[in-house]
């Protein structure tokens, strides 16, 4: 795995954000939350996210931008997303390609 300039994690807003982001933040991780709606930014920052990336999980370019300089990815598929398996595969592929 590639060396990164900081210890950050990628995470989207959702039901688990209220548990996962604070748990990572209390361990000293810099958390980059990947959210779909700009109005979710305040919520994830309140949970402890230090950075916010806005985009859609189905948009590979948005994923690539969000994964820049990220050392690890924590991903839980959103409920009821069309083509959930394909979205998950895209996230994994983007993470692998990001190093």
pLDDT of amino acid 1: 44
Q: pLDDT tens string for the chain (99 positions)?
A: 445 544 555 555 566 778 889 999 999 999 999 999 999 999 999 999 999 999 999 999 999 999 999 999 988 777 777 888 899 999 999 999 998
**Cα 10 from Cα 75, distance rounded (Å):** 8
Contact yes or no for 82/56 (Cβ under 8 A): no
As a CATH number, domain 8-98 is 3.40.50.720
pLDDT of amino acid 78: 76
Place of tokens 């959930």: 84
């Amino acid at each position: 795995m590639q060396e990164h300039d900081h210890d950050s994690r990628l995470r989207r807003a959702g039901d688990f954000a209220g548990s996962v982001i604070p748990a990572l933040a209390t361990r000293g991780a810099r958390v980059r939350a990947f959210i779909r709606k700009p109005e979710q930014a305040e919520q994830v920052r309140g949970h402890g996210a230090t950075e916010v990336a806005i985009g859609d999980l189905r948009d590979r370019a948005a994923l690539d931008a969000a994964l820049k300089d990220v050392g690890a990815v924590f991903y839980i598929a959103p409920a009821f997303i069309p083509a959930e398996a394909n979205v998950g595969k895209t996230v994994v592929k983007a993470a692998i390609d990001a190093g």
